[in-house]
Structure 1
Amino acid sequence: MKKSALFIVSALVLVAIVLFIFQHQRKEITEEKINKEQVVSPDSTDELWYKKSIIYTLDVEVFKDSDHDGTCDFKGLISRLGYIDSLGADAIWLSPFQPTPNKDDGYDVSDYYQVDKRLGTLDDFTAFMQRAKALKMKVIMDLVVNHTSDQHPWFKEARSNKNSPYRPWYVWSKELPENYNVGMVFPGVQKTIWSYDSVANEFYYHRFYSFQPDLNSQYKPVRKEIKKIIKFWMDRGINGFRLDGVPFFIEIPQKTGEKFEHQYEMLTDMRHYVNSLDKDAIILGEANVLPDENKDFFGEHGDGMHMMFNFFVNQHLFYALATGKTDPLINALERTKEIPKNAEWGQFLRNHDEVDLGRLSEKEREEVYKKFGPEKNMQLYDRGIRRRLAPMMNNNKKQLQLAYSVLFSLPSTPVMRYGDELGMGDDLRLKERLSVRTPMQWNNTKNAGFTNNDKPVLPVINTGAFRYANINVSDEQADSSSFLNWTVKMVKLRKKCPEISFGQWDILDTGSEGILAIHYQWNNQHVITLHNFTEQKQEVTIRDKSLDNKTLRDMITAEYIQHSRDRQTVSLEGYGYKWFRVQ
């Protein structure tokens, strides 16, 4: 009997050892495969559509009003899809469009299964999706499931009844937690992350504003409901989701401390579910994290989120634009370089929020403030700038073009904010981030042509250099030298360079602190981009042995340069740029 038991135990131990070795070897093989196959093969580019896209982000509420009630809508958006298509954009990211009290511009959702009646109906949404599909455009929507509005029926029932099945959908505390006033998302404006509810007679958790109680995403019924929401919109044609506030969504809240444990497996689970419904659909995550954390969010084996915004590079890009110093930007690019081959960065200049400079040193941040946001009302949350790009740069066309040429040339998918293709301005009279969320400027008629109503949902910019009489689609389309027409040309240029979307890249050493030089290789093709972040003309030396005796063709001017054996010198004007194809 004892021998039999000993044999069984020994056998179980042996099986455990074999399984451990198998899993370990499998992991090593998988990692080796990912590392060896960093370059995407030409046969797989279609399934990785998000690597070669140009994403255009907009808020339906302020884009185009079809019924002139003052608020834009899906019918109005449908009427302007041709314009978005003319830009060369082939994917649209929609800000929240679901029912909302609108205390946080739609990021306080009160019903996940409807369209805000101000913006139209589900039928209008369906018509929009059909038109977008006809134009071969992908559509990504905001998925705001870290929190709900406090007016959501779930929260109303949870707070009113301790025995409600919705009570555990939120996070509660009978006593005021000791960390109630740390870790706010909006410091300087938001005061706490725990607030007392007089109906529930308890404190509830909210990483964002007090009217946005956090969902308890660790609770299985909540996760099940999130999958229902995902399926509901994917059944209506959605191609992916921009997942809001990812680090907060996957954290496990505690009543002490500020940094909480993250459940990264939630991202893998969501990815698998999304791709079980549509193998080509994606998750684009908002996660302002340090480079060492990237693998946790992308997944060690590329099974986390498909895309993330590269906030780390964005912040150092603004530092380079403000100072002319590119070394920190190059370092940021190098530190965010190693990602799974099926993953991609989403790179942007401006989005719907402030320019977040929180990852810069205090000295670096002050340098950017001094250049781009010197006045206190231009700054926000003790970390950022609440301005659009054109006014930050004093409408310096050469620097604006440099900034967007850099954006289109970086190893990532470009994300464009509506109106930035025109050089739209901001309205600092508006509260917090609303300053950069003003209505689209279509022409020089009443309210910039976006509505005829006397009371638009937000005021149109009608004074100063950026007033709609000066900056609008109609006038810029008719002007061959406009920033709009220049942007269209640059989008076309980017689309001619699959090397940037799918290839390997290296920084070229030019010996100049103010120059960013990148060499891309893919499918036996080579592209080199050069950017001068300084105001002064510079002679740039390209050193790359792989280019010996090759010809460089300027993709903008069509001029040819013969690369000598050791080096090639190229002249760049202040804020100048060059794109070369190697032949």
Structure 2
Amino acid sequence: MALQAGGSADWWRGAVIYQVYPRSFQDTNSDGLGDLRGITRRLPHIASLGVDAIWLSPFFKSPMADMGYDVSDYCDVDPIFGTLADFDEMMGEAHKLGIKVVIDQVISHTSDRHPWFVESRSSRTNPKADWYVWADPKPDGTAPNNWLSIFGGPGWEWDGVRRQYYQHNFLTSQPDLNFHSKAVQEAVLETVKFWLDRGVDGFRLDTVNYYFCDKLLRSNPPHEPDEDDAGLDAPDSNPYGMQNHLYDKTQPENVDFLKRFRALLNQYEDRTTVGEVGDGARSLKTVGAYTSGGDKLHMCYTFDLLGPDFTAEHIRGCVEAFQKAVTDGWVCWAFSNHDVMRHVSRFARTEEERPVIAKLAISVLAALRGSICLYQGEELGLPEAELAFEDLRDPYGIRFWPAFKGRDGCRTPMPWEAGKAHAGFTSAEKSWLPVPYEQAALSVDTQETSDSSVLHHYRKTLAFRKSHPALIDGDMAFIGTNQDLLAFTREKNGEKLLFVFNLTRKPAEFRLPDGMVLGEPFDMPGFRPVAGAGSVKLAALDGFCARV
């Protein structure tokens, strides 16, 4: 049974959160798509990892143009996933296992099928006329400004009924809500209250810095050479990164709305929020603004560790930058999610190296100060799937193919049983995305039989993290070295732990700083360093932990 971190209203601080992508987790009705009953069926697997919470990607009613991130009803379950009763059953079973339930809230935009938008576009005088961002064309008929869509092309779409443009940061079928309208804020908070009353433990807030745009609709300036404002991991082939996004997101009014959101959550016990911040070089500053003071978000995560770098310099730089920018807020670290290439494929140089990298990565992640998010399948060391163009379902990948292959490669179904069709994900003739052989070979049932598997390493590592309070919310301080080693201490209540990770492909020796004396070395799962007088010898891709 998973125990909840802290066992208090601060359970989220240092928690391990497991992301479930519902359409790819488990199918129980043989339609080739995962569903809520499938999640319920597989909850014992999640609990066996020792996590504190699950985060469910959207399961709301939706046309599925963006796989559920285009919501047409915030207060109901899409039939492909089941019913509200299925959700209640799933949540009840999760709570019995000691697992909190966090759900995705996609409130920066809706589907164009949402009744709010249907009414808003019907005229310029209806009660919801200002619920979305509408603007007149320029005299020559072009869009009001130069804002772009992350999914390619202009961030404006012409509507022939209103004879105006509406803003969309993503697909044209995902119009942006106008949060400058108090009525919109009230309506959105009512949908949040619906789920709070149903008993959910928290919300992952999609694109949390996209709620407001500039009231004056000013054009963005060009991208500055020293910036890296690639939004939601926009590929180099996407011109979105060529702008400095000063006006289409991250507006100051957002802070007051987040305070309203937090005030609502404070009316309930032990609830939490984790915000997704995609703001390029300004992300950590934005995280600081959104998590400080204890009256906005509980924690945020950025895309800093979701890129190709897995080096001591990069990880230390990200953590120290957060510590500098965010004095009293909290961060949630992750190496993978549903929007980026799986980290085993990003970090490993060879196929043989993948399980080694998978084990090392979770050991590093589990030792960092902050909460951590795991993405389904990473506990198996799944690599990114190579898919043919005709198998793609992601509009982002289809739009930018072949320069960018999209997000389907990390969204393929969870492999449960190697000997079954579709690796036990579905009994349907065809799965919504194929399960490649190399992923099926890493199935849960196969790894259960090997104590040295990535799956067992995850369980041991998360148990190790939970057994040391210093790793939940203790202080963290880096130690300088003249080598490419990641060295730091974690400390709480008199316990001080030293961690040293060698992320390189060659042996290294870490010399203890003057005055530091090694105490009890810990048998950190999966590593075999050699500690001697005043130094620690590490093999390539190795790690070490001891009390000091």
What's the TM-score once normalised by structure 2's chain length?
Answer: 0.84
Q: What letter is aligned with 1:284?
A: V
Query: Aligned to 2:443, which of 472, 480, 499?
Result: 472
The one-letter amino acid paired with 1:268 is: K
CA contact (8 A) 1:99 1:111 kept: yes
CA-CA distance at 1:313 after TM superposition: 4.6
Residue 377 of structure 2 corresponds to residue 419 of structure 1: yes
What do residues 385-429 of structure 1 show as CA deviations (whole Å, max 9, x unaligned)?
x45524752331222222221111111112110011112232343
Give CA-to-partner distance per residue, 1:474-530, whole Å, 9 cap, x none. 111111121111111111111122212221111012221x10001111111111111
Cα–Cα, structure 1 residues 554 and 560, in superposed 2: closer, same or farther, change >3 Å? farther
The residue number in structure 1 matching 2:416 is 442
- In 2, the alpha carbon distance for the partners of 1:292 and 1:269 equals 21
Residue in structure 2 matched with residue 262 of structure 1 by the alignment: 252
The alignment partner of 1:336 has SS state of helix
| Structure 1 match to 2:208 | 246
Alignment TM-score, normalising by the size of structure 1: 0.79
CA shift in 2, pair 1:388/1:574, >3 Å? closer
State the 1:220 CA deviation: 0.8
**What is the rounded CA distance, in whole Å, between the counterparts of 2:146 and 2:44 in structure 1?**
48
Aligned position for 2:520: 552
Equivalent residues of 2:485, 2:502 under 8 A apart: yes
Matches within 5 A, 1:1-400: 46-176=8-138, 180-186=145-151, 190-258=152-220, 259-260=246-247, 261-263=251-253, 264-276=255-267, 278-289=268-279, 290=282, 291-299=284-292, 301-315=293-307, 318-319=308-309, 321=310, 324=311, 326-338=312-324, 343-354=329-340, 386-390=341-345, 393=348, 394-395=350-351, 396=353, 397-400=355-358
Provide the C-alpha distance between the structure 1 equivalents of 2:215 and 2:424, rounded to a whole number of angstroms.
46
SS of equivalent to 2:45: helix
User: Could you tell me which amino acid in structure 1 is paired with residue 181 of structure 2?
Assistant: Y
Q: Which amino acid in the other structure matches residue 277 of structure 2?
A: A
Deviations 1:267-317 (A, max 9, x none): 1121111121x2321110001343333321113x232210101433544xx
User: Shift of residue 48 of structure 1?
Assistant: 1.4
2:489 is matched with which residue: 516, 519, 527? 519
Q: CA deviation at 1:339?
A: 7.0
Q: Of Structure 1 and Structure 2, which has the larger fraction of its residues in helix?
A: 1
Task: Quote the offset at 1:459 in angstroms.
Answer: 2.0
Q: Please give the secondary structure, in 1, of the residue aligned with 2:501.
A: strand
> Over residues 535-576 of structure 1, what are the superposed CA-to-partner deviations in whole Å (9 max), with x where a residue is unaligned?
00001112153x34x513223279999886xxx210010011
The 1:515/1:561 distance shift into structure 2, 3 A limit, reads closer
> Is the alpha carbon distance of 1:243 and 1:457 closer, same or farther for their aligned partners in structure 2, counting shifts above 3 Å?
same
Distance 1:132 1:341 in 2: 34
> Cα distance 1:157–1:229, how it changes in 2: closer, same or farther (>3 A)?
same
Q: What is the distance in 2 between the residues matched to 1:491 and 1:132?
A: 18
CA 1:95 to 1:119, structure 2 compared with 1: closer, same or farther past 3 Å? same
Q: Cα RMSD over matched residues?
A: 2.3
Q: Which moved more, 1:445-454 or 1:261-270?
A: 261-270
The CA deviation string for residues 253-272 of structure 1, in whole angstroms up to 9 with x for no partner, is 54322212331111112111
Aligned equivalents of 2:513, 2:346: Cα separation in 1: 37
Residue 179 of structure 1, CA deviation: 6.0
> What is the distance in 2 between the residues matched to 1:342 and 1:296?
10
Contact 1:267 1:305 (8 Å CA) reproduced: yes
Say whether 1:401 aligns with 2:345. Answer: no
Report the alpha carbon displacement of residue 252 of structure 1 after superposing the two structures with TM: 3.4
Q: Provide the rounded CA distance (Å) in 1 between the counterparts of 2:439 and 2:40.
A: 25
Identity of matched residues, %? 31
Contact 1:518 1:528 in 2 (8 A): yes
Aligned partners of 2:136 and 2:144 also within 8 Å = no
How far apart in 2 are the matches of 1:144 and 1:63? 20
Superposed CA offset, 1:34-83 (max 9, x none): xxxxxxxxx97622111232110011111111121222111111111001
* In 2, Cα distance between equivalents of 1:420 and 1:44: 25
C-alpha contact 1:97 1:106 (8 A) present in aligned 2: yes
Q: Displacement of 1:434 after TM fit? A: 1.8
Partners of 1:448 and 1:460 within 8 A in 2: yes
- For residues 391 and 508 of structure 1, the distance between their equivalents in structure 2, rounded to whole angstroms, comes to 26
Distance 1:328 1:422, change over 3 A: closer
Q: Which amino acid aligns with 2:547?
A: R
Aligned to 1:7: none
Aligned length: 488
**1:340 positional shift:** 6.7
Query: In the superposition, relative to structure 1, how do residues 166 and 235 fare at CA in structure 2: closer, same or farther (>3 Å)?
Result: same
Give the secondary-structure state (helix, strand or coil) at the position aligned to 1:476.
helix
- Provide the C-alpha distance between the structure 2 equivalents of 1:137 and 1:406, rounded to a whole number of angstroms: 23
The answer on whether the counterparts of 2:31 and 2:428 sit within 8 Å (CA) in structure 1 is yes
Deviations 1:127-151 (A, max 9, x none): 1111011111111100000000011
**Gaps in structure 2 of 5+ consecutive residues:** 221-245, 398-405
Moved more, 570-579 or 337-346: 337-346
1:150 partner SS: coil
In the alignment, structure 1 residue 496 sits paired with structure 2 residue 467: yes
Using a 3 Å threshold, how does the CA distance of structure 1 residues 572 and 459 change in structure 2: closer, same or farther?
Answer: same
Cα distance, 1:525–1:339 mapped onto 2, change above 3 Å = farther
Which residues of structure 1 form unaligned runs of 5+?
A: 1-42, 355-385
For 1:427, give the aligned amino acid: E
SS in 1 for 2:476: strand
Letter in 2 for 1:438: T
